[in-house]
Amino acid sequence: MVPPKAIYVGPFVHCKTQLELDICEGGAIGVDETGKISFIERGTRVTGESAAKKHGWESFEVVCLRDQGFFFPGFIDTHIHASQYPNAGIFGKSTLLDWLNTYTFPLESSLSDLARARYVYNRVISRTLSHGTTTAAYYATIHVPSTNLLADICQTKGQRAFIGRVCMNSTMSPESYRDESTEQAISATRESIAYIQSIDPKHELVTPIITPRFAPSCTADCLEQLGALHKETGYPCQTHIAENKNEIKLVEKLFPEAKNYADVYDNVGLLTEKMILAHAVHLTEEEVALVKERKAKISHCPTSNTALTSGCAKVRNLLATGIDVGLGTDVSGGFSPSILEVARHAVWVSRYVAMIDGDDAKLSPEEVLYLATRGGAKVVGLPDQIGGFEVGMDWDAQMISLRTVPEDGEAQDEHEGPIDVFGWESWEDKLHKWLYSGDDRNTVAVWVKGRLVHQTSGYRP
């Protein structure tokens, strides 16, 4: 289904740099039938018709933003376990290693059942789309058919995604939920890659991603072969690193010849510019320097790091080093599927760091919105395609209404959301209020590559 040309009219906001938003109080963005931004006109008096005339467009749809609101780039979730969605909010007082055994492996193991996988994956994709996530880097499970089903559902629902069949062949995982051998882990990974290539040969929407779960769940031999597969295919990779102190001790025991945790991945050719490292809470200075040198990316997961009491990642240090950082919900280590909420938690965690290390550690609202969009785009390797509004980029966007949609039978003014009640707020105020008090009710419509993939019932753009 090819969407028609469309012109989006209204205020739009995106990140210009890590520190600065580009706020355009009125304008029109023309999106062609391939879903790419063809022109951007600025000015509060610009209409769909005036912009179309200027660009010689004859047939097109106009999507106008009514009420208070703005268009914003779609969010990029750089780390999420689709398979763990039913456990979001269930973690008790556990920490990483007991959490994996108590809650996570049993749930993931149960997704060998395709009907169950279908149920879970349909829901997680719909839910993340409803929160404005237009791109996600997903971990599925070890099962090839259900991993492939995740790719199918992303394609059907229109979410851009990286789909990882999880590799875990070491005896750290229970016998009932692990790869039998290195050979089996590699052939299953190849099988899933081939399937995703068959349904989306140009990877317009779905791309395979090589996914060793983390060093402790893979043998050295398996990691080595995954490194070779990465080199052979050029596909991106994702894994976990330095999330929890006991995990780090385990890595030291299992890989005594490695200099440190990052070195385990580097030794096998997995630490490259196409690697997404989740968490990175306890990296040493030496490891940070190596990650920077290899241009590997980091997914910051503040919700999960607090829930599992893993620690507070020092994001300011990572950014100051020049490492590309994005945000990850890490469902279900993290309990929220919303990147807006994770962005808020990123501000919060940075303040806890600042209470000890000083004010420089604080991340601003502008910075976390950058991490949620442009930063995430760099992390998933698509900085010129998504994360902002520029001519030539894809229209991956969300329409934010600051007046939330009332429930049935509820008057509008009982349900105002983060609206500017007295009309005296600056645009910065509006953005900050959305970040701190907005939610999915404000995300009234979502597009990926120009295709409408979500809209709030009751709100017609």
Query: Does 77 sit near Fe ion (CB under 5 A)?
Result: no
With CB atoms as reference, the residue minimizing the distance to ligand GUN is 333
Provide the minimum distance between the beta carbon of 81 and ligand GUN in the complex, in angstroms, as a whole number.
Answer: 5
Q: For ligand GUN, which is the closer residue by CB, 71 or 138? A: 138
Q: Would you give the DSSP letter of residue 414?
A: G
Q: For ligand GUN, which is the closer residue by CB, 41 or 247? A: 247
Task: Please choose which of Fe ion, ligand GUN, none residue 219 contacts, taking the beta carbon within 5 to 8 angstroms, the exact cut-off set by kind.
Answer: none
Tell me the two tokens of residue 205.
Answer: 């929407």
Using the rule CB under 6 A, which residue among 81, 157, 274, 441 binds ligand GUN? 81
Report 88-107 residues binding ligand GUN (CB under 6 A): 96, 100, 104
Q: For ligand GUN, which is the closer residue by CB, 65 or 82? A: 82
Contacts of residue 175, Cβ cutoff 8 Å, sequence gap at least 6: none
Site residue total, Fe ion (CB under 5 A): 1
Strand partners, 9: 28, 64
Query: Does 266 sit near Fe ion (CB under 5 A)?
Result: no
Q: Helices 144-157 and 182-199 sit at what angle, rounded to 10 degrees? A: 20
Task: Please choose which of Fe ion, ligand GUN, none residue 134 contacts, taking the beta carbon within 5 to 8 angstroms, the exact cut-off set by kind.
Answer: none
Place of tokens 């052979």: 232
Using the rule CB under 6 A, which residue among 131, 178, 230, 240 binds ligand GUN? 240
Provide the minimum distance between the beta carbon of 244 and Fe ion in the complex, in angstroms, as a whole number.
Answer: 11
Task: Please choose which of Fe ion, ligand GUN, none residue 214 contacts, taking the beta carbon within 5 to 8 angstroms, the exact cut-off set by kind.
Answer: ligand GUN
Task: Please choose which of ligand GUN, Fe ion, none residue 243 contacts, taking the beta carbon within 5 to 8 angstroms, the exact cut-off set by kind.
Answer: ligand GUN
Tell me the two tokens of residue 203.
Answer: 């990877």
Count H helices and E strands in the chain, helices first: 16, 20
Task: Please choose which of Fe ion, ligand GUN, none residue 133 contacts, taking the beta carbon within 5 to 8 angstroms, the exact cut-off set by kind.
Answer: none
Query: Does 282 sit near ligand GUN (CB under 6 A)?
Result: no
Using the rule CB under 6 A, which residue among 77, 330, 367, 440 binds ligand GUN? 330
- Count how many Cα atoms sit within 13 Å of the Cα of residue 394 in the half-sphere of its side chain: 26
Site residue total, ligand GUN (CB under 6 A): 11
Query: Does 243 sit near ligand GUN (CB under 6 A)?
Result: yes
Provide the minimum distance between the beta carbon of 389 and ligand GUN in the complex, in angstroms, as a whole number.
Answer: 32
Q: For Fe ion, which is the closer residue by CB, 330 or 367? A: 330
CA 261 to each of CA 185, 282, 336: distance values in angstroms, whole numbers, following the listed order: 22, 10, 28
Strand ranges in 25-159 using DSSP code E only, listed in sequence order = 27-31, 37-42, 61-64, 69-73, 75-81, 133-139
Q: For ligand GUN, which is the closer residue by CB, 104 or 338? A: 104
Query: Does 213 sit near ligand GUN (CB under 6 A)?
Result: yes
C-alpha to C-alpha distance for 283 and 57, rounded to whole angstroms: 53
Query: Does 333 sit near ligand GUN (CB under 6 A)?
Result: yes
CA 265 to each of CA 255, 273, 281, 421: distance values in angstroms, whole numbers, following the listed order: 11, 12, 16, 52
Residue 237: burial class (beta carbons within 10 Å; 0-12, 13-18, 19+): buried
Provide the minimum distance between the beta carbon of 170 and ligand GUN in the complex, in angstroms, as a whole number.
Answer: 12
Using the rule CB under 6 A, which residue among 238, 272, 304, 338 binds ligand GUN? 304
Using the rule CB under 5 A, which residue among 266, 330, 341, 396 binds Fe ion? 330
Cβ pair 304, 96 in contact under 8 A: no
C-alpha to C-alpha distance for 239 and 268, rounded to whole angstroms: 13
Query: Does 73 sit near ligand GUN (CB under 6 A)?
Result: no
* Dihedral over alpha carbons 360, 362, 366, 368 (to 10 degrees): 130
* Nearest one of 268, 243, 280, 237 to 380, comparing CA atoms: 237
Provide the minimum distance between the beta carbon of 195 and ligand GUN in the complex, in angstroms, as a whole number.
Answer: 23
Provide the minimum distance between the beta carbon of 213 and Fe ion in the complex, in angstroms, as a whole number.
Answer: 9
Report phi then psi at 184, rounded to 5: -65, -40
Q: In the sheet that 37-42 helps form, which strands lie side by side, from edge to edge?
A: 37-42, 27-31, 6-9, 61-64
Question: Which residues sit at the interface with Fe ion, rule CB under 5 A?
Answer: 330
Q: Footprint of ligand GUN on this chain (CB under 6 A)?
A: 81, 96, 100, 104, 213-214, 240, 243, 304, 330, 333
